[in-house]
Amino acid sequence: MVDFHSHFLFDIDDGAKDIEMSLAMLNMSTKQGVTTIVSTPHYYADAAKPHVAIAARDENIEELIAYAKQENIIIPEIKRGFEVRVKKHLYEIEDFSELCIENTKTILLEMPLKEWDEELLDVIEFVKTEKRLDIVIAHFERYVDRIPNDLLLKLLEKNLYIQINAGSLVKRDKLDFICELFRNGMAHVIGSDAHNMNSRCSLMDIGYAYIRRNLGQEYIDKIEANAKKLLNL
């Protein structure tokens, strides 16, 4: 199982508070059947240069892997990435490879929860066509009911990859919509978007169970295949 989106790194964004929580989150992921997890701390282009964010992230991951080894806890394979907020400041970034998930041309982009406009969609077009990256839009379902439908449709028409949060599948009002996206080939990968061990913990196993029950095993297979393709696994 691939968890495409997680904030398990400690003391770096609004995710895990300390290294113990990070390890507990990874331990929980392993128990749920996650074998590969993408570390996706938030990245805001107006707050830090990529190399500064990369240094902080990589130091954090190395410390965490060493700690897991010391504590004899099996953790999923970690892939280094970011959850990059779509802002006009992205125009200033030369080398996008640093913001992609390691060894890929895949970038996880996050939209704001309100105030979308055409200019924001232009930034996505820039990343897609000028930088020639495979774009994954984080937790698309979170924008529905908050963003005008015409803008949501324009985003979908860009034929990007769509990531869904596992925890959204347990919400009655979201489940039917998400299943419809998968049936129409408009959703592609699942992430936990886990931030902690309680209110925003990983629900990957439950999310997969909902997909299996509502859509069938073939969709689980498709999701896993999509994730592996995007991660070059």
Closest by CA to 187, choosing from 130, 117, 136, is 136
Which residue's CB is nearer to Fe ion, number 50 or number 167? 167
Q: At 80, which helix (H) or strand (E)?
A: strand 77-80
**Whole-number Å distance between alpha carbons of 192 and 159:** 23
Give the residue at shortest CB distance from Fe ion: 193
Which residue's CB is nearer to Fe ion, number 196 or number 214? 196
Which residue's CB is nearer to Fe ion, number 102 or number 215? 102
Which residue's CB is nearer to Fe ion, number 3 or number 83? 83
Q: Cβ contacts of residue 88 below 8 Å, gap of 6+?
A: 119, 120, 123
Q: Which DSSP category does 179 fall into?
A: H
CB of 22 to Fe ion, least distance (A): 15
**Whole-number Å distance between alpha carbons of 205 and 121:** 33
Which residue's CB is nearer to Fe ion, number 42 or number 214? 42
The residues of the shown chain that bind Fe ion, judged by CB under 5 A, are 83, 193
Q: Cβ contacts of residue 170 below 8 Å, gap of 6+?
A: 203, 206, 207, 210
CB of 196 to Fe ion, least distance (A): 12
**Whole-number Å distance between alpha carbons of 177 and 169:** 9
Which residue's CB is nearer to Fe ion, number 54 or number 215? 54
CB of 150 to Fe ion, least distance (A): 25
CB of 157 to Fe ion, least distance (A): 24
CB of 41 to Fe ion, least distance (A): 9
Burial code (b: 16+ CB inside 10 Å, e: under 16) for 81-117 equals bbbbbbeeebeeeeebeebbbbebebbbbbbeeeebe
**Whole-number Å distance between alpha carbons of 162 and 183:** 13
CB of 69 to Fe ion, least distance (A): 27
